[in-house]
Amino acid sequence: MRLIFMGTPEAAVPTLRRCLEDGHEVVAVWTQPDRPAGRGNKLTQPPVKEYALKHHLTVHQPAKIRNEEALDLFVSSEADAAVVVAYGRILPSTFLGAPLRGCINVHFSLLPQYRGAAPVNWAIVRGEKETGVTTMLMGEGLDTGAILLQREMAIEETETAPELMARLSSLGAEALSETLARLEEIKPREQAEEKATFAPILKREDGLINWALDAEQIERRVRGFQPWPNAFTKYNSQRLVIWQASRVNGEAGGDVEGEIIKAHGDDFFVSCGDKSLLRLHEVQPEGKRRMTVRDFLSGARLQTGERLG
């Protein structure tokens, strides 16, 4: 099958790889423009572009796609279908109808749950036990297209968003492979609108910890808001990122939310809502590297009774 592949981050690479392994002709790869990244703001290629160039594929990186020039380029590929995996832009209706068999999206949730930009993050934050991937025929709405295939996956108890995304990206590649192989026989089914939930794009302020939440909710934010915006708090007016934490069962916290209950050696306990208790394991002070609690406490000299936030 002649395919246009549209994707940008590392999570999209397994599906592009699978398209090539399955013998499809990837006639063009569309991805976001190179962006400055890292401490030196060095111009960096998207992972999909890096993979595509290594395999001698044609790469397009238009800054805008809602114009005649981009549409003409898209149509000129004469593709049977476009495969879209975390491309990063909403396709205009003129694009959706251009390939012979339409545009097929791999979405990292069990639609209609978690429509939107950050389904993996919000599934963890909201305490879901299961998620999965959906292949669908793209429509003009936000992840509202007709479902082709779905595959489920359990969320592990201590799994972070990057870890879950890595597993889902492999599952998504398998689902897309099966979808293309069975495209003639699969009957698309409409989504149940009444069951729709949403996973909005993450904002920096989403990561700010509200210590009035119970320890379990905060721990899920620690895992779910990686790699950005991260779960963070304030100590001495400086940002303190929490990379790893766990709820303490069988022990109660204090009456003051955000109060440090213990800070010595490997023990860093903070009181949360409903008198629950959170133990911090790995943190990152502003301007410094990630470190164990022991390393942090040896330099920070925190005192019991002080407050975070």
What average pLDDT does the segment 270-287 reach? 97
CATH number of 204-300: 3.10.25.10
What is the predicted pLDDT for the residue at 177? Answer: 98
Cis previous bond, 112, omega within 30? yes
Least-confidence region, from 36-40, 59-63, 270-274: 36-40
DSSP secondary structure string, 99-153? STT-EEEEESS-TTTTBSS-HHHHHHHTT-SEEEEEEEE--SSSS-SPEEEEEEE
What is the predicted pLDDT for the residue at 203? Answer: 98
Instruction: Write out pLDDT tens, residues 70-93.
Output: 999 999 999 999 999 999 999 999
What is the predicted pLDDT for the residue at 301? Answer: 83
Q: Give whole-number Cα distances, 51 to 9, 60, 144, 172, 199, in Å.
A: 11, 13, 29, 17, 28
Show the tokens assigned to 172.
Answer: 């998504």
Give the C-alpha separation, 146 to 22, whole Å: 24
Instruction: Write out pLDDT tens, residues 214-223.
Output: 999 999 999 9
What is the predicted pLDDT for the residue at 37? Answer: 84
What is the predicted pLDDT for the residue at 269? Answer: 97
Domain 2-195 class, CATH top level: alpha beta
What is the predicted pLDDT for the residue at 38? Answer: 78
Using a pLDDT cut of 70, give the percent of the chain over it.
100
What is the predicted pLDDT for the residue at 296? Answer: 96
- How high is the mean pLDDT of the chain? 96
pLDDT score of 109 more than 90: yes
Q: Give whole-number Cα distances, 147 to 84, 106, 294, 305, in Å.
A: 14, 10, 49, 53
Instruction: Write out pLDDT tens, residues 155-203.
Output: 999 999 999 999 999 999 999 999 999 999 999 999 999 999 999 999 9
Instruction: Write out pLDDT tens, residues 16-39.
Output: 999 999 999 999 999 999 999 877
Nearest to 147 by CA among 202, 196, 200, 198: 196
What is the predicted pLDDT for the residue at 39? Answer: 75
Q: Where are the domains of the chain?
A: 2-195, 204-300
What is the predicted pLDDT for the residue at 57? Answer: 98
Q: Are 290 and 243 in contact (CB under 8 A)?
A: yes
- DSSP 3-state helix, strand, coil percentages of the chain (rounded to 5)? 30, 30, 45
Show the tokens assigned to 119.
Answer: 């389904």
Instruction: Write out pLDDT tens, residues 114-156.
Output: 999 999 999 999 999 999 999 999 999 999 999 999 999 999 9
Instruction: Write out pLDDT tens, residues 221-265.
Output: 999 999 999 999 999 899 999 999 999 998 888 899 999 999 999
How big is the CA angle at 62 (ends 108 and 179), to the nearest 5 degrees?
A: 35
Give the C-alpha separation, 223 to 160, whole Å: 4
Task: Supply the pTM of this predicted model.
Answer: 0.95
Give the C-alpha separation, 127 to 97, whole Å: 37
